[in-house]
């Protein structure tokens, strides 16, 4: 899991979900993809350039090949910074607001859907936060038990990971960056970096969703976007 767009109107937190038994297979296939397309350095949204557009388009195709066969899922939550009242609800702490997004996504998109069927290990890209990962684990498990009757504390670990050495976090970074760009409307603007405009449009098209401005239908399981509704100011 990671976040994108902290300085934009819409911040997006998103993550890839897959069974632990599939992780070695997916890591091996990413390595084969890297070698085939000569993408041996870090995969990252900020590294998308016009020169590398073809390679990143191939990466998006690769991701959706896995997604379409349900080898992995992607879920994201969107936060409208213009509608936020951090002073009232988060003691003026932007980091507290961001941690709440992680909490909401873990509970409602990963815990509720996967928790009843087994245990979860959540890996997040390293960031400095006033909310400890142990506290986040405790809160998510508490909510799953209280509100959703998932009683066995399915979130077993929430671990920090360095994305520079984790292919799944890197793949997530690219898809998340494209979703964030599209949600902020940058794929519609003239004068933007052509490669990022193109890639954001491609991810939106391949997601099967008409827009990221509205919540995905509840029937959608493999690629979902949830726009968090804010409390009144």
Q: Summarize pLDDT for 122-157 with one digit per residue, the tens.
A: 999 998 888 999 999 999 999 999 999 999 999 999
Dihedral sign computed on CA atoms, order 113, 180, 83, 128: positive
Q: Got the DSSP string for 124-186? A: EE----SS-HHHHHHHHHHHHHHHH--TT--EEEEEEE-GGG-HHHHHHHHHHHHHHHHHTTG
pLDDT band at 86 (very low <50, low <70, confident <90, very high): low
In a domain, 232, yes or no: no
Q: Is residue 212 part of a domain?
A: yes
Please state whether beta strands 10-17 and 73-80 pair in parallel, antiparallel, or not at all (unpaired): antiparallel
Could you tell me if residue 207 is inside a domain? yes
Whether 233 is covered by a domain: the verdict is no
* Residues of the domain holding 143: 2-227
Tokens of 142: 């508490």
Residue 119 lies in a domain: yes
Asked if 68 and 219 count as a contact pair (C-beta separation under 8 A), the reply is no
The tally of domains found in the chain comes to 1
Within a domain: 160 = yes
pTM: 0.94
Return the structure tokens found at 203: 């991810």
Which CATH number goes with the domain that contains 183? Answer: 3.30.420
| Weakest mean pLDDT among 59-73, 86-100, 208-222 | 86-100
In a domain, 186, yes or no: yes
Structural domain contains residue 122: yes
Report the phi/psi class of residue 57: left, alpha or beta, with left for phi > 0 and alpha for psi in -120 to 50.
Answer: alpha
Beta bridge partners of 204: none
Please enumerate in sequence order all residues whose Cβ is within 8 A of that of 81, keeping only pairs 6 or more positions apart, or say none: 8, 9, 10, 11
């Amino acid at each position: 899991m990671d976040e994108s767009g902290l300085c934009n109107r819409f911040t997006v937190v998103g993550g890839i979900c897959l069974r632990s038994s599939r992780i070695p297979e997916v890591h091996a296939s990413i390595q084969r993809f890297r070698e085939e397309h000569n993408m041996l350095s870090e995969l990252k949204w900020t590294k998308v350039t016009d020169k590398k557009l073809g390679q990143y388009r191939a990466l998006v195709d690769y991701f959706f090949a896995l997604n379409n066969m349900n080898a992995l899922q992607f879920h994201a939550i969107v936060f409208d910074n213009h509608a936020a009242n951090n002073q009232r609800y988060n003691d003026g702490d932007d980091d507290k607001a961001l941690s709440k997004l992680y909490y909401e996504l873990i509970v409602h998109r990963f815990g509720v859907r996967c928790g009843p069927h087994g245990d979860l290990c959540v890996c997040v890209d390293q960031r400095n936060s006033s909310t400890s990962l142990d506290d986040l684990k405790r809160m998510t498990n508490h909510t799953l038990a209280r509100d959703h009757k998932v009683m066995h504390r399915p979130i077993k670990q929430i671990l920090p990971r360095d994305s520079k050495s984790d292919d799944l976090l890197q793949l997530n970074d690219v898809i998340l960056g494209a979703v964030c760009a599209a949600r902020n409307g940058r794929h519609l603007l003239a004068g933007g970096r052509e490669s990022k405009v193109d890639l954001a449009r491609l991810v939106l098209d391949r997601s099967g969703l008409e827009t990221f401005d509205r919540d995905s239908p509840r029937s959608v399981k493999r690629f979902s976007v949830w726009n968090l509704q804010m409390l009144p100011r």
